[in-house]
Structure 1
Amino acid sequence: MNAATALIRDTFPVGPLQCNCTIIGDPVTKKAIVVDPGGDHELILARLEKHGLKVVSIIHTHAHLDHFLASGQLKEKTGATLHLHKDDQFLWDNLKMQCELFGVPYTPVPAPDRWLSDDEELACGCGVALHTPGHTPGSMSFWFADAKLLIAGDTLFRRGVGRTDLWGGDQATIVRSIKQRLYTLDEDATVITGHGPDTRLGDEMRNNPFVRA
Structure 2
Amino acid sequence: MTIKTFALGPLQTNCYVLSNDRQAVAVDPGGDPAAVLDYLKENGLTLTHILITHMHFDHTAGNKALSEATGAPVLCNKGDAPLLDTWLGKGGDMGLPVLDPYEWENLEPGETEFIGLPCTIFYTPGHSEGSLTFYFPDAQTAFVGDLIFYRSIGRTDFPGGNLDILKNSVQTHIFTLPEDTTLLSGHGPETSVGDEKNHNPFFGGF
> Considering the TM-score relative to the shorter chain, is it more than 0.5?
yes
Aligned pairs for 1:49-88 (under 5 A) are: 49-88=41-80
Q: Which residue of 2 aligns with 1:121?
A: 112
Structure 1 residues 171, 142: closer, same or farther in 2, change over 3 A?
same
Gaps of 5+ in 2: none
Cα distance in 2 for partners of 1:160, 1:81 equals: 31
* CA-CA distance at 1:207 after TM superposition: 0.6
Cα distance in 1 for partners of 2:89, 2:176 equals: 36
Cα distance in 1 for partners of 2:43, 2:142 equals: 21
Cα distance in 2 for partners of 1:65, 1:46 equals: 23
Cα distance in 2 for partners of 1:140, 1:32 equals: 19
* CA-CA distance at 1:96 after TM superposition: 8.0
2:86 paired residue among 89, 94, 103: 94
2:14 paired residue among 1, 4, 20: 20
Q: Which residue of 1 aligns with 2:182?
A: 190
Gaps of 5+ in 1: 1-6
Matched, 1:148 2:148: no
When the two structures are superposed, what TM-score results if normalisation uses the length of structure 2? 0.94
- Deviation string 1:29-54 (CA, Å, 9 cap, x unpaired) is x1111100001211110122233211
1:44 paired residue among 27, 36, 45: 36
Runs of 4+ in 1 over 4 A off after TM superposition: 95-98
Aligned length: 204
Letter in 2 for 1:92: L
When the two structures are superposed, what TM-score results if normalisation uses the length of structure 1? 0.91
Structure 1 residues 131, 101: closer, same or farther in 2, change over 3 A?
same
